[in-house]
Structure 1
């Protein structure tokens, strides 16, 4: 993880997302910011690192991010829709990974843990899941008849 010691995490919000201080008093508006702060503290609190493809649950046991969505975790993705020039910043003495925070449903987190990152990305491609947070997006791994 020495090569991955530095990371920046971002989230892309829809243009109409409410961003005022007053709006942030409502968790339905604030949860992406709260999640970014949680991710920023994660390596320091747990003496670990975060990197591309990592999934991080919202609590233990995982809980929905807010009342207006059922996301229970996130996956960190490098270069999901941004160019590689944006995804890795070489400062000369260190390389900084720039990772996108993409919210996940519980079933998607389970699927990724069982089948791997690439399998989940195939599902995202199949359902045209983008990087901009969409609280109404399709759950790509919703179980049907007990199968993924």
Structure 2
């Protein structure tokens, strides 16, 4: 555990990146429209989640603020790796989904947990996240919680927000905001076997919506 703490203590942290995300939201929404789920204890790096409820949209959304405080390990083989080093994650939600005080025991807390686990993954494993990448809830592909059948996520470009919203400049660094789309186990296996483009074809064929659906139809049905 000591080595785990040391790993993050010795990494350069860009605290201004989280501040840039906060300012990015403040420019577009009022204080009353934004709720911040502050992280009380952070064993690695501080990661808050903002919950935006605005009448501008027919949905609400969650967005992380803190994933981009650390640089992701982008392979040198990737063209222009500097463009992918920093990211935050977003999840669009139907208006009916709400959150009280996040304790980990409420029915919808797993959704915030899913977002935070995904945001921490690249830093815990010295890798990176970008469009087309998938993450599993567990190695055995078990669901995120007892009240959901979702077992993983795929990282997608937002089709709801344009680049002016999903690209945030923090000094010389670019922060990408990616959309998270939860997947069922067989959908995850399909993507692993056939690749991102095959899964994307299924998303388009089924007219899958970016807004989270607790009980959406299986893409492979």
TM-score over 0.5 for the pair:
yes
1:79 to 2:140 alignment: no
Q: CA deviation at 1:24?
A: 5.2
Task: Provide closer, same or farther for how the CA distance between residues 105 and 93 of structure 1 changes in structure 2, counting only shifts above 3 A.
Answer: same
TM-score w.r.t. length of structure 2: 0.59
1:97 to 2:176 alignment: yes
Q: Which runs of 5+ in 2 are unaligned?
A: 1-73, 75-80
Moved more, 92-101 or 17-26: 17-26
User: What is the aligned partner in structure 1 of residue 133 from structure 2?
Assistant: 54
In structure 2, distance between residues paired with 1:22 and 1:94: 31
Extract structure 1 runs of 4+ deviating beyond 4 A.
none
| Greater relative CO (CA pairs within 8 A, separation 6+) | 1
1:102-113 alignment to 2 at 5 Å?
Answer: 102-113=181-192
User: What is the aligned partner in structure 2 of residue 16 from structure 1?
Assistant: 96
The Cα RMSD (Å) is 1.8
TM-score w.r.t. length of structure 1: 0.85
In structure 2, distance between residues paired with 1:107 and 1:90: 37
In structure 2, distance between residues paired with 1:75 and 1:118: 12
1:32 to 2:139 alignment: no
Q: Which runs of 5+ in 1 are unaligned?
A: 143-148
In structure 2, distance between residues paired with 1:136 and 1:87: 27
Are the equivalent residues in 2 in contact too, given 1:53–1:117 (CA < 8 A)? yes
Q: Of 207, 210, 215, which aligns to 1:128?
A: 207
Rg larger in 1 or in 2?
A: 2
Aligned length in residues: 141
